[in-house]
Amino acid sequence: MPKFDSPQGATPIGDAEGLLIPVSTMDELSAAESHNVLKATVKRLRRRNNPKRQWLDEELIRVVHGEMYEDVWEWAGRYRAVELNIGVAPHRIREEIKKLCDDVWFWDSSKNNPISILERAGRLHHRLAWIHPFRNGNGRHARLISDIYLNAHRHPLPLWPSHDIARKGGVRDQYLAALRAADKSDFSPLVKLLSRLTRRT
């Protein structure tokens, strides 16, 4: 059974348990995942959910991950049942996802001191990465969910540099540093990164 090395800041894959296709290298696995993720992205960003409805819910969180990885991993769309060195305990995942969806609804409906749309997307993105609900693919899933959210609000989408975001240095280092700052409730680096990537589109 092949084992795979993961980039810095990513959840280690460890082994190929649940792998649905024959691959033997990280490059082959990344190519297969990228193809599946692109298919899900095109499907989801064709739609424009009404932002005034509470469409962002626990089911959508799972379904989107399933669509992103269903051709590659047997566990796509299923919450992890194992502890990782990142993320909440498995028994807390469903509860934290529900709290996140409720918070997004509150941010969207708040009239007093409203949060900017990019910060709301950044907070959504960060919380999903912090919860780390799935065995793998959490970063790409958080980015797509935040893109779906921005798309629903008719906001331009950030242009994520897919190759650079997976490599050490440059954008990946800035991205991980922004997530670490958000861990301490400082969302400004993540908002600045989202704003810069949006201006490139």
Kindly report the three-state secondary structure assignment for every residue of 63-125.
Answer: HHHHHHHCCCECCCCCCCCCCCCCCCCHHHHHHHHHHHHHHHHHHHHCCCCCCCHHHHHHHHH
Domains for the chain: give ranges and CATH numbers. 26-155 (1.10.3290.10)
Beta-carbon-side half-sphere exposure of residue 156 (alpha carbons within 13 Å): 11
Class of residue 61 by CB neighbours under 10 A (exposed 0-12, middle 13-18, buried 19+):
buried
Over the chain (201 residues), what is each successive 10-residue block's mean pLDDT?
52 72 88 95 87 86 98 97 95 98 94 91 98 96 96 93 66 93 97 90 52
Radius of gyration of the chain (CA): 16
The one-letter code for the residue type at 120 is R
Return the pLDDT at 112. 84
The one-letter code for the residue type at 198 is T
Spatial distance between the Cα atoms of 124 and 107, rounded to a whole number of angstroms:
10
Q: What is the pTM of this model?
A: 0.89
